[in-house]
Homo-oligomer: A and B are copies of this chain.
Amino acid sequence: MNYTKCWLDYKPIPENLRRPCYYEPVLLASGRVAETAAEEYCISMSEMLDEPVEMRRGEPVDEPAVYLEVEEELQTAETDAALDRQTFVIRGEEDNIIITGKSEEALLQGVFAFTRMVYLGEIDEKLPFFCTPSTPLRMMDHWDDMDGSIERGYSGRSFFYDDYEMMYNERIEMYARLMASIGTNAITINNVNVHEKETFLITDVYLQQVKQYAELFARYGIRLYTSVNFAAPMQLGGLTVCDPLDPDVVAWWEKTVKHVYEVIPEFGGFLVKADSEGRPGPFTYGRTHADGANMLARALAPYGGTLVWRCFVYNCGQDWRDRQTDRARAAYDHFMELDGKFDDNVILQIKNGPMDFQVREPVSPLFGGLKKTNMMLEVQIAQEYTGQQIDLCYLIPMWKEVLAFDIGGDGTAVSHVVCGIAGVINTGDDENWTGNDLAAANLYGFGRLAMDQTLSAEQIANEWSRLSLSREDDVTDTVVPMLCGSWATYEKYNAPLGIGWMVTPHTHYGPDIDGYEYDRWGTYHRADLHGIGVDRTGVGTGYVEQYNEPWRSRYADQATCPEELLLFFHYIPYTYELKTGKTLIQHIYDTHFEGVEEVEAMKKQWEGLEGKISERSFACVKDRFARQLENAKEWRDRVNTYFYRKSGIDDEKGRTIYK
Binding site for B on A (CB under 8 A): 320-321, 323, 511-514, 518, 526-530, 637-638, 641-642, 644-648, 658-659
Contact = CB atoms under 8 A, between A and B. Distances in A.
Contacts of A659: 323, 526, 528
A644 B646 CA distance: 11
A323 B641 CA distance: 13
Given A511-B518, A514-B513, A638-B518, A527 B645 contact: yes
B648 A530 contact: yes
Nearest to A646: B529
A431 B526 CA distance: 44
Given A518-B511, A518-B512, A528 B637 contact: no
Nearest to A518: B638
Contact of A645 (B323, B512, B529, B644): B529
A637 B638 CA distance: 24
11 contacts: A320-B658, A512-B514, A513-B518, A514-B514, A526-B659, A527-B645, A528-B644, A528-B645, A529-B529, A529-B646, A530-B648
Given A647-B529, A659-B528, A641 B512 contact: no
B646 A528 contact: yes
A637 B321 contact: yes
Closest 3 CB pairs of A and B: A528-B645, A321-B658, A514-B514
Given A528-B659, A529-B647, A530-B648, 11 more contacts: A321-B637, A321-B641, A321-B658, A512-B514, A512-B518, A518-B638, A518-B641, A527-B645, A528-B644, A529-B646, A646-B646
The interface residues of chain A, by DSSP majority, are classed as: loop
Contacts of A530: 648
Contacts of A321: 637, 641, 658
A646 B514 CA distance: 13
Nearest to A527: B645
A648 B514 CA distance: 17
Nearest to A504: B505
A323 B647 CA distance: 20
Nearest to A506: B506
A323 B511 CA distance: 20
B528 A648 contact: yes
Interface centre among A514, A530, A647 (most CB of B within 10 A): A514
A529 B641 CA distance: 12
Contacts of A638: 518
Contacts of A512: 514, 518
Contacts of A323: 659
A647 B648 CA distance: 11
Nearest to A657: B321
A648 B529 contact: yes
Interface centre among A511, A512, A513 (most CB of B within 10 A): A512
Nearest to A321: B658
Contacts of A528: 644-646, 648, 659
A638 B320 CA distance: 9
A656 to B, nearest CB: 9
A575 to B, nearest CB: 14
A287 to B, nearest CB: 32
Nearest to A649: B529
Contacts of A513: 514, 518
Contacts of A527: 645
A219 to B, nearest CB: 46
Contacts of A514: 512-514, 642
A518 B526 CA distance: 19
A647 B529 CA distance: 7
Nearest to A323: B659
A644 B647 CA distance: 13
A191 B526 CA distance: 42
A152 to B, nearest CB: 20
A631 to B, nearest CB: 13
Nearest to A638: B518
A647 B646 CA distance: 8
A493 to B, nearest CB: 15
Interface centre among A323, A529, A641 (most CB of B within 10 A): A529
A645 B513 CA distance: 14
A456 B66 CA distance: 97
A637 to B, nearest CB: 6
Nearest to A656: B321
A196 B438 CA distance: 38
Contacts of A641: 321, 518
A410 B495 CA distance: 54
A316 B495 CA distance: 27
A264 to B, nearest CB: 40
Contacts of A644: 528
A34 B650 CA distance: 74
A101 to B, nearest CB: 55
Contacts of A658: 320-321
A435 to B, nearest CB: 24
A532 to B, nearest CB: 10
A528 B646 CA distance: 6
A377 to B, nearest CB: 35
A513 to B, nearest CB: 7
Nearest to A513: B514
Contacts of A320: 658
